[in-house]
């Protein structure tokens, strides 16, 4: 969807992006790059209806004359509605000539993440005045092996029920706010084998999918 907001506020976020100091090979850096401000020029120019009408006259003449006007523009993808459950899918492959190669390097991810630097200033389900949109990690999927074969395992956090999350999912609204990550025990699951693990073990995994639940 193309934003028709005031140009002065269209690219504003809930929290200052420049204060992130996002470390490379981190999920923050991935999100920062994915939501960066882009300039569309040359072959990527945007078709401007207003400019076209000014140049060609009334709309009914535009189609017949085919004199479309394209203009330089700015583009930025931001979150306009913070989800109850945040799922992040890491692209773990790259092209190597005509082949696909798996990316095995570790991507750092936190136990609690703040999405505010990646949300629009007018994010629909964030209370006015809030400058934080916090999420707590509760699940990780890891893949071992190559692009042709391998094995999926999961890390899952067993914790108390998140009433705030239930309100968001069932009624689309929030009640009591929680500002700390939910306490619980992490488990590593591989087929029928389940064993308890530390949070440090979870955070050192080669994450393929990350699952966060909203706290605030």
| Sequence-distant (≥ 6) Cβ neighbours of residue 113 within 8 angstroms | 27, 28, 86, 134, 135, 137, 212
pLDDT of residue 155: 98
Q: pLDDT grade, residue 176 (50/70/90)?
A: very low
Pairing of strands 134-145, 207-214: antiparallel
| Contact between 107 and 71 (Cβ < 8 Å) | no
CATH top-level class for 1-35+79-215?
alpha beta
Containing 97, the helix (H) or strand (E) segment is: none
Work out the average pLDDT over 135-144: 94
Q: pLDDT grade, residue 10 (50/70/90)?
A: confident
Q: pLDDT grade, residue 195 (50/70/90)?
A: very high
> pTM above the 0.85 mark?
no
Mean pLDDT lowest among 15-24, 61-70, 126-135: 61-70
pLDDT of residue 7: 64
Can you tell me the distance from the alpha carbon of 131 to that of 127, in angstroms, rounded to the nearest whole number? 9
Can you tell me the distance from the alpha carbon of 164 to that of 7, in angstroms, rounded to the nearest whole number? 34
The domain segmentation of the chain, as residue ranges, is 1-35+79-215, 36-77
pLDDT of residue 27: 95
More confident residue, 44 or 192: 192
């Amino acid at each position: 969807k193309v934003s028709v907001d005031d140009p002065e506020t269209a690219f504003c976020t809930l929290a200052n992006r420049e204060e992130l100091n996002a470390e490379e090979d981190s999920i923050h850096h991935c999100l920062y790059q994915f939501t960066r401000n882009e300039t569309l020029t040359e072959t990527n120019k945007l078709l401007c209806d207003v400019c076209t009408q000014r140049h060609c006259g009334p709309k009914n003449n535009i189609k017949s004359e085919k004199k479309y006007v394209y203009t330089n523009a700015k583009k930025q993808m931001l979150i306009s509605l913070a989800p109850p459950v945040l799922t992040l899918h890491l692209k773990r492959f790259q092209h190597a000539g005509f082949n696909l190669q798996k990316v095995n390097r570790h991507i750092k991810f936190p136990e609690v993440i703040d999405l505010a630097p990646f949300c629009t200033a007018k994010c629909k389900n964030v209370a006015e005045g809030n400058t934080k949109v916090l999420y707590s990690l509760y699940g990780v999927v890891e893949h071992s092996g190559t692009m042709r074969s391998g094995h999926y395992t999961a890390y899952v956090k067993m914790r108390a029920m998140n009433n705030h999350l239930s309100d968001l999912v069932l009624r689309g609204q929030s009640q009591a706010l929680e500002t700390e990550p939910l306490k619980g025990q992490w488990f590593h699951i591989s087929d029928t084998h389940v064993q308890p693990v530390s949070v440090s073990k979870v955070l050192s995994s080669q994450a393929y999918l990350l699952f966060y639940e909203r706290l605030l």
